[in-house]
Structures are given as C-alpha cells and as structure tokens.
Amino acid sequence: METTVRSPIPSSSATSGKPEGTLNMASSSAHAAVDSIAGLADEAARKAKPAIDGVAAMAHQTVDKAAGAVAPTAEWLTAQGESLKNTQKKLMHDTCSYISTNPLTSVAIALAAGYVISRVIR
C-alpha cells in the first residue's frame, strides 16, 4: 500500500480565520492520521505474514492428514455400495422370476402379507 505524506502545516488561507482555512487544516490533519495508520498497518502486516503463512501450512497439512485417514474408509464404502447394488439386482431378478413362474402363490403371499400388516397397524 502506497502512503502519501501530507504536511500538517496549514496553508496561508488557514491563517486568515476563514472557514475554508479551518477545513483545509482539519483535512490535512485527517490525511496525516490516515497515512500514519496505514504505515503502521503495513508494518504489522509484514511482521504477521510469516505467522500467517505458518498457520496456513499447518492447516493444509491437517487437511491432507484427514483426507489420508478417510480415503480407506471411502474406498471400503464404495466397494460395499457396489456389493449391495449387485445384491439388490440379484434379489429383484430372483423375485421377478419367482412371480413369473408362480403367479397364484405370489398373489396369495401378497394378500396374506397385506392382512398381517393391516392387523399390526390397527
């Protein structure tokens, strides 16, 4: 950040007692204060940068460790998901095949299951 140094010395119009002179003097003082604070902020930022960089590096290491610890679990869950999906497809195929070969038995089982469920719900 570039700082501009303004002279706190009032202009010649400020000594005349006119409102414009007082305004210029107040404006110059405010600019000097802002420039001073900006200089202090720049210095503080330069001093804090190594600490901020260190904290950022530690945060990146922590994220990498967490990702490394979770990766095997994610792979296991993916494998289990595939296994469950295959089991679901096999059960669905077997159920459809059973219903196709035994339609009357399937209807009787469905009626019995509906009756039992209705009794449990009441």
Query: What ranges do the domains of the chain cover?
Result: 14-121
Nearest to 3 by CA among 38, 29, 33, 31: 38
Please list, in sequence order, all residues whose beta carbon lies within 8 angstroms of the beta carbon of residue 98, skipping any fewer than 6 positions away: 106
Give the containing element (helix H, strand E) for 14.
none
pLDDT string in tens for the chain (122-residue length)? 454 544 444 444 444 456 667 777 777 787 788 878 878 777 777 887 787 778 888 888 888 888 888 888 888 888 899 899 999 999 999 999 999 999 999 999 999 999 999 999 98
Q: Note whether 14 and 26 are within 8 A (CB).
A: no
- Whose structure tokens read 């720049």? 42
- Which pair of tokens denotes residue 60? 């990146």
Nearest to 12 by CA among 4, 24, 26: 24
The predicted pLDDT at position 17 comes to 53
